[in-house]
Amino acid sequence: MKRKKKYVEVNENRESWVDAHCHLCIEPLAANYLDEIEQAENDNINVLISSALSRREIDWHLANQHPNVKLIAGIHPHYDKSNVNDLSYIAELCETGHIWGIGEVGFDNRRNNHNQQKNILYPQLELAARYDLPVIFHVVRRYNELYQTLRYDFPNVRGYIHGFNGSLEIVEMFSRLNIGFSIGYRIFQKRDVVRIIERILDNGMILLETDAPFQQNSLRNQNTDYLLGGVLSIAEKISELCSYPLDEILEKQWQTYQTMNERSKI
């Protein structure tokens, strides 16, 4: 298909909320994505990092580009529509500058195919290193394995763990690397959620995410009627639990986004 030109940069000089993980190409978001983006802009949510996990999803994003959307693409370890044969296509998009990052990729222990997952992950990390792109990680009960992979084989790769719901010890571990934590609704189910988030806020890199349209019932903001507004709901929940000012959460997540973005502007 004919590709449109590369993304136009949003205004990077003004702090805004970032949705660090959503799927704009998935219904019901896809049918209303322009309305969703407009409503997000009205609430100062001006950066939407949207994941494409198959060639069809990538092509949807290329055909529906928007200056507020950052496209990430990758081969998921547990998503049936992801295909390892798309790796060359992703590499081409890295070369042409059509994607902002690699993801979501990683390890998932719900499938007993460790070697296959490793063989899929490594070339994607190599792409991220070669083109200096951030990586968005999907991890299900394999945090130690991912940490060892990054520490010994890809120590300079930067990125963040999406939908983070790990322990305080895992936060300490990944904070030694250039890896941040994207907070969604699921982390609030943990008993020690306050300690975990406080540690991330104090010494780590934090982002917020809706994972929309998934978890949509949990993430709707009480004062909004659109999916991407869940970012505000998460920020308000963090502020309430940790007695942390909203404006400081805004600043910290924006700084984290800039860290991810600073060497990968396209």
pLDDT at 6 over 60: no
Q: Which of 63-77, 166-180, 252-266 has the lowest mean pLDDT?
A: 252-266
Residue 264: per-residue pLDDT: 47
* Mean pLDDT score, 203-221: 79
From first CA to last CA, the distance across the chain in angstroms is 21
Tokens of 32: 């209303």
pLDDT at 3 over 90: no
* Mean pLDDT score, 230-238: 96
pLDDT at 212 over 50: yes
Q: What is the spatial distance between Cα 162 and Cα 72, in angstroms, rounded to a whole number?
A: 12
Domains of the chain, start order:
17-261 (3.20.20.140)
Residue 161: per-residue pLDDT: 97
Residues 105, 68 contacting (CB under 8 angstroms)? no
Give bridge partners of residue 69 from the DSSP assignment.
Answer: 48
Q: What is the spatial distance between Cα 172 and Cα 101, in angstroms, rounded to a whole number?
A: 24
137-153 confidence digits (pLDDT tens): 999 888 999 999 999 99
85-111 confidence digits (pLDDT tens): 899 999 999 999 999 999 899 998 787
CA 152 to chain centroid: 23
pLDDT at 156 over 70: yes
pLDDT at 67 over 90: yes
CA angle 120–258–77, rounded 5-degree value: 15
The mean predicted confidence, pLDDT, of the chain is 89
Tokens of 113: 């195919």
Residue closest to 53 by CA, chosen among 33, 27, 93, 23: 23
pLDDT at 266 over 70: no
Residue 11: per-residue pLDDT: 54
Q: Predicted confidence band at 31 (pLDDT cuts at 50, 70, 90)? A: very high
What is the DSSP annotation of the chain? -PPPPPPPPP-TTS--EEEEEE-TTSTTTGGGHHHHHHHHHHTTEEEEEEEE-SHHHHHHHHHT--TTEEEEE---SS-TT--GGGHHHHHHHHHHT--SEEEEEEEETTSS-HHHHHHHHHHHHHHHHHHT--EEEEEES-HHHHHHHHHHH-TT--EEETT----HHHHHHHTTTTEEEEE-GGGGGSTTHHHHHHHHHHHS-EEE---TTTTHHHH--TT--SGGGHHHHHHHHHHHHHT--HHHHHHHHHHHHHHHHTT---
Q: What is the spatial distance between Cα 204 and Cα 252, in angstroms, rounded to a whole number?
A: 9
Residue 111: per-residue pLDDT: 74
pLDDT at 116 over 60: yes
Q: Is the dihedral of CA 146, 216, 102, 108 positive or negative?
A: positive
pLDDT at 222 over 90: no
Give bridge partners of residue 107 from the DSSP assignment.
Answer: 139
Residues 209, 184 contacting (CB under 8 angstroms)? yes
Q: Predicted confidence band at 223 (pLDDT cuts at 50, 70, 90)? A: low
Residue 7: per-residue pLDDT: 42
